[in-house]
Amino acid sequence: MLDSVGSLTGSPWIYVVVAVSVVLDVFLPVLPSGVLVITAATAAAAGSTSVVDGQVAHDAPSLLVLALCAATASVLGDLVAYRLAWRGGERLDRAIARSRRLTSAQERLGSALAKGGGVLVVIARFAPAGRSVVSLGAGAAHRKVKEFLPWSALAGVAWAGYSVGLGYFGGQWLGAGWFGAAVSLVALFLAGTLAAYVMRRPAAEPAAVTAS
């Protein structure tokens, strides 16, 4: 993948490919959007150059633009999934009711957003398929957009910054090759595993109040 992404780093198409991958990732969690962002950032760490007509041209993508592109695409994908689930009707409600994972996530998300503590949205962004579960759950439960959008934006910025940072610093410290990219990907997957564990934990039951 490094070779394939490397061929795009000198073109604005790298941002288009990243954006499309991140948007679609909410519907197709198997898409390696995180892998793509890290690989692009690793390529940026290489600071690749080329010589055109005797002039040295820098082909590395801008890390800031890459991060903004990934974060914006993340929020856009969340909102599309949210709106589709909002308008999904009874068919989607029945599908969610048949899924213990979706039902549990919907209940926990609704409680968290109602209390103004949508950190679950941020955590879910790092978990495999967690973004899909949370976005669809928020829409199906008809949570207000003002409750969901700020946390979705924070999640997108956190995920994009973490992924770009992993790729860049991994490339800087370990070399902009397969080893540096692999270590960065392992760090991304570890964060995803931890996030998935947190999401699977049952919500704490409120303590019973005993009469004196």
- Average pLDDT for residues 165-188, to the nearest whole number? 75
- Average pLDDT for residues 58-71, to the nearest whole number? 84
The predicted pLDDT at position 178 comes to 65
> Hey, what are 45's tokens?
């760490």
| SS3 of residue 8 by DSSP | coil
As a three-state string, the secondary structure of 89-116 is HHHHHHHHHHCHHHHHHHHHHHHHHHCC
Confidence of residue 108 (pLDDT cuts 50, 70, 90): low
Global pTM reads 0.76
- Average pLDDT for residues 197-205, to the nearest whole number? 60
Residue 52 confidence (pLDDT) above 80? no
Distance from the Cα of residue 186 to its chain's centroid: 16
The predicted pLDDT at position 20 comes to 93
Higher pLDDT, 116 or 146: 146
The predicted pLDDT at position 131 comes to 86
The predicted pLDDT at position 143 comes to 81
- Average pLDDT for residues 72-96, to the nearest whole number? 81
**All residues at 6 or more sequence positions from 46 whose CB lies less than 8 Å from its CB, including other chains:** 6, 60, 171, 176
Residue 48 confidence (pLDDT) above 70? no
- Domain residue ranges in the chain: 2-200
> Over pLDDT 90: what percentage of the chain?
18
- The predicted-structure confidence for 135-166, as pLDDT tens digits, reads as follows 888 887 788 888 889 999 999 999 999 999 98
R_g of the chain, CA atoms, integer Å: 20
